[in-house]
Structures are given as C-alpha cells and as structure tokens.
A and B are shown apart, each in its own frame.
Chain A
C-alpha cells in the first residue's frame, strides 16, 4: 500500500469503467444465453406444471430449495464484510467491501426467484402478502415460510439501501470525471453529493447505524431460513443447532464466492495494489474459522444423534453417511471441512491459484450440504413405506444454470459500469494509515 495515493486509487478504479472489450461483451452474451435458457425452462414448467421437476412424494423439496438456500447463504458474507467488519474497524475489508456488498444484493435477487419458481403457480404469489382482500384471507405469520417472506424481503431492502448508500460518494467521483450521458446519469444517481463536511457528518452516522442494524439482520435471516427446516419434526431437520450452523455455513460459502469473484476481478482490473494478498489471506483465515464451525456442527449432530438413542435419528444419520446419497455426503464433508484445513498452511493461503481452487471446492461442498440436508431427511423420515428417492430433472438443472448465469450476468454488468472497489473507503484507509504513522 506504500505507493498508493488518492489519485492512483481513483485512476485504477475509473480505468475499469472504460469502454469494454469484445471478450467482455461475449461473456455477457454467453451469460444472457444461460439466463434465457433458464427462463425457457421456467416457462415450460409454468405451462406443463410443477411435475416437470423431480419433486415428488415424499421428497417435495428439491433443487429449487437447495438453490434458494445456497444463494441466500452466499449473500450473507457480503454483509459480514461490509457491516460486521465495519463495526470491528477491520481495515482489510475496505478493498473488497463494495464488490462483496454487490454480490449480496445480486445473490438475494437470485435467491428470491426460487420461491417463485418453486411455487409452480407463480401468479398466485401475492397470496403471501398481507393485504385486505374479499376472501378475508390473511397469511399465517406463525409459519416459517412467512418468516422467510418477511426476512428475505427485509434483507433485500436493507442490503440494497446499504449498498446504495455506500456507493453514493463514489457515484459523485465518477460523475465528476465523466462527460455526456454518463455524467447525466451519475449526476442523478449521486443525488448532488458534493462531499460537504455537513453531508459527511450525517453520512458516517447513518452508515454506522446501517452496519449496526445489518449485523443482527444477517444472523436472523439465515436463522429464519434454517427454521424452514428446523421447525418441522422431520428427523435430521428438527435440531436446535441449525440456526448458528446455517449462519456459519452461509458465511463459509459466501466468503468462498468472494474469493471466486475477487481473484479474477483483481487480475482483470489490475486491482493488485488495492486488493492485496493480505486482504485475500484474511478472507482465507476467516474461511478456516467458518469451516471449523461447520465441521463442529457436523460432529455434534452425529454425536447427539447417537446420544439420543432415538432409533430414527440414528438411522437417518447412518443413511446420510452410507446410504443412497453418500457421495453427496462425503463431497460435503471433504469440501467444507477438510479442504479448508489446507488454509492453515501459509504458502497455500498466499497462493492465488490455491485460494481460487479451494474456493470452488467450498462452493461445491456447500451446495451439496444443502442437497444432503434437504433431500436425505425428506427421502427417509418416519414411516418406511413412505420412503422415496429424488433426482433433479433437466428442467431443474436448466433453471439452476439460469440462476448462476443471472448472478454472474448482473455482477459482470455491474463491475464494468459502476465502481467495483470503493474509492472513498480505500482513500479513508490511506488517510488513517498516514495518521497512525504506519
């Protein structure tokens, strides 16, 4: 960080907003095709019916729920980085906070699609909203599914507002260095921000409250998502550890996605001086922690299942490890808890390639964790004659590819048209570094 100046930070970030290359537009087009493929699958499902998915009796929840939980989980680490680390004054968050918060907003958007898709009759989604109607029907707020509606909408709203507030000073910076149409757009977006100390006075206070409010929100949202499962009585689901276990798992997968996104980003956009190896190393260290928590949860669940001496509890955990879906189970355990242990080794933590590869494995592992939890518990619950199996269909996989395409599409569009690194926060870090004589 030694030779960074305010001007260099601005220049590095503003350079990313220059007109894009052909490779870029080709990537965007490819992602758009993926999205359209997913949309086509969904339209097919709306016409033919929800049965085109693999869900059946007894496994009524399939990849739509898995992907829902997966994307909400990814969103969480963005808020961890931008909100929680802000409260801890952890300076290493500044270079990645903007991109992480963006990842959050887009991940929640992607996640929010899945309840629609899963509904089948998506046009009836408004039933979930509490408004006076002539049937005098109201949603049942005691249902964890309604908790979800409330929590996810709150999370999307709060994250978007937090993200936008954080963007505001940077939007002014872009405005002041643009011309023509871009200048007009950014003038409106930046709301006339001029960096007056009067404005900063309120801004910093408001931002602090955003961070202080987003922190308990993050913990509550994924707890609520975990309660979609834990509040039922299904064996393997009904367990008190779910809320913190899901939150830790969410942060685990989110941080891995942060690495997956940041590593190519920093190479392509020449952010190496801002998103330094130290920053990535700190993300890696946090991943060690979340991986250990997730491993602790796995171990505890198995131990308590044995301790309970409840034959059904024991049976479901045995089946998870050794039954029909054991491949998914072992992928989950190895990718989430064993592979991150490699990050204890300093050489691996500081190697870009290792970090990228490990992050991909963790993402795969976390997807399979949701698969194992959701599918195995429902496939074999209490009554043996009602047991069944599940496998996703092509339509479901198409929609899943579409969701990944959507997420990356939004993210790729964002990074080329908006400042993907917070110039303001990084300049702040420089100023603080100078005043501490560091």
Chain B
C-alpha cells in the first residue's frame, strides 16, 4: 500500500451525503468518519449506528445517588437522634425527598461522565482532520484511499454532488 491520503466530500444535502456513505461500501475505499452539523437520522441509519451505552453510566449514577441520599439523611439523623415535632428520627417519608434529589443529581453526573467517556470528549486532536463547514451547513464524509487513487475518489464525491477537500497525511 502506498502513501494514503484522506478526502472529505462536503454535501449541503443530507440525502446526498447519506447515499454517498452507503455507496462507499461498494468501493475499495475506507470510510473514516462522517461529520454533521445536526444529529441526522438519515446518516445514522446509513451508518447503521448502534444505540449508545451512555445510559448505563446514568443508571449506575442514579443507583449510587439513591442509596447515598438515603444513607446521608439517615446517618445525620441517627447521629443526634432528636425527636422533632413528634416525628420519628429515621422516617421514610421525608427522606424520600433527599433520596430522590440525590438520585437525579448523581444520575446526571453519570450521564455527563458517560457522555465524556463514550464521546471521547474533549477531543482536540480530532480537529486536525476536519473542515469548519461541517458545523455550518455541510455534511462531511471522510474517506481514505491510496495516494494514486486520489483523483478517482475526488470524482466519486463530485458525482455524488459534493465539493471536496484533501487532507494529506
């Protein structure tokens, strides 16, 4: 394999980008990644993306929060065991509120951690092979090919209706 280069096809139309992605499978070139300014349904179908696992982080966070909230409330109440207003020292009814809030708080922490880990953020390196038009109104389809076939790949994208940009390795 000779030196590789990467070519990005930029499309203003979601449909064309999706069809370019799908048709790329029949070519010998490798699809590297797809950029989009919006969470595009068509593109995620074309790429056959699986469901994200962020939810598990959220769930774990929520469970930790649920037990921490109750534990904190019960521990602090038991420390002094004061009967206030005739109410029992350790009571489920008011502690549900603390438990509930902590569940949400830690579930959100889990959610954020999951987002960062799974999404690989922050990802400043990823900006090296990137076109700023992709955050505006263009969908970027990045494919890799051997240096020799660069012209063919560029034509492929042009036929699909996009403009191109070449990234030399």
Contact = CB atoms under 8 A, between A and B. Distances in A.
* Chain A in direct contact with chain B (Cβ < 8 angstroms): yes
Interface of A: 5-7, 10, 130, 136, 138-142, 146-147, 150-151, 153-154, 157-158, 161-162, 165, 169, 172-173, 175-177, 187, 191-206, 209-210, 213, 216-217, 220, 224, 227, 423-424, 427-428, 431, 434-435
Interface string B102-130: 10110110011011001111111111001
Nearest to A199: B119
Interface residues of B, number: 66
Contact of B135 (A136, A162, A173, A227): A173
Contacts of A428: 38-39
Contacts of B41: 435
Interface hub of B37, B51, B55 (most chain A Cβ within 10 A):
B37
Given A130-B76, A141-B73, A195 B101 contact: no
A196 B94 contact: no
Contacts of B135: 169, 172-173, 175-176, 193-195
The dominant DSSP class at the A interface is helix
Interface stretch (B42-50, B151-159, B161-169): B42-50
A172 B101 CA distance: 32
B85 to A, nearest CB: 9
Contacts, number: 192
A158 B108 contact: yes
A192 B36 contact: no
Interface hub of A136, A142, A175, A196 (most chain B Cβ within 10 A):
A142
Nearest to B70: A141
A424 B132 contact: no
Contact of A197 (B47, B105, B124): B47
A174 to B, nearest CB: 9
Given A157-B108, A173-B136, A210-B108, 12 more contacts: A6-B136, A130-B76, A150-B101, A158-B105, A176-B135, A192-B124, A194-B130, A196-B126, A199-B120, A206-B114, A209-B107, A427-B37
27 contacts: A10-B137, A136-B79, A138-B79, A138-B80, A140-B77, A141-B76, A141-B77, A141-B94, A141-B98, A142-B77, A142-B91, A147-B97, A165-B115, A169-B37, A172-B135, A173-B135, A192-B124, A192-B126, A194-B127, A195-B37, A195-B134, A199-B119, A201-B50, A202-B52, A203-B39, A209-B54, A213-B58
